[in-house]
Amino acid sequence: MARSIAELTAIAHRHAAAEAEGDLAATLATLEPEPVYELYPVGLRMTGLPLARRYYEHFFARTAPRIVGYEMVGEWINEQGVLQEYHLSVRYDDAPVRDFRVIGLLKFGDTALTGERLYADTEFLRILFEPVWGELEACGGPSNR
């Protein structure tokens, strides 16, 4: 049975909190079995729980420690999902810090999240998806699910 928008919004907020806390199991528990992550403007897609697990293992071990600050700029909710805009500051290995803006849609499925649609600078997307970048596939326009 499909969940309500309020229930799915609560799942999306649990997902964001689990990411912020570095909790791999809790993050993955918010996803439906075959999540899809769409990356724009590069037009790439990551599909499936095995790749999502590798992405999040990398995110928690290598990317999150480099994020020296972040702030949610705004949040909007509708029947497709929870859209969040963030300003992030990321430290590079040679010590400089670079600022990025990211817009991410946590996409609603029937019972959990079907993945995310991320709009960010290609440089930041490469940092996020580094270990699976070569396995991403081209995608057309954003899907509704």
Residue 93, pLDDT score = 85
Residue 95, pLDDT score = 77
DSSP single-letter state for residue 22: T
Q: What is the per-residue pLDDT across 26-66, written as a single tens digit (0 to 9) for each?
A: 999 999 999 999 999 999 999 999 999 999 999 999 999 99
- What is the residue extent of each domain of the chain? 5-138
**How many CA atoms lie less than 13 Å away from 78 in the CB half-sphere?**
6
Q: Is 10 helix (H, G, I), strand (E, B) or coil?
A: helix
Regions in the chain scoring below 70 on pLDDT: 141-145
Q: Dihedral (C-alpha) 49, 120, 16, 145: value to the nearest 10 degrees?
A: -50
Residue 142, pLDDT score = 56
Q: Identify the CA nearest to 27 among candidates 69, 56, 65.
A: 56
Residue 94, pLDDT score = 84
Indicate the CATH number for domain 5-138.
Answer: 3.10.450.50
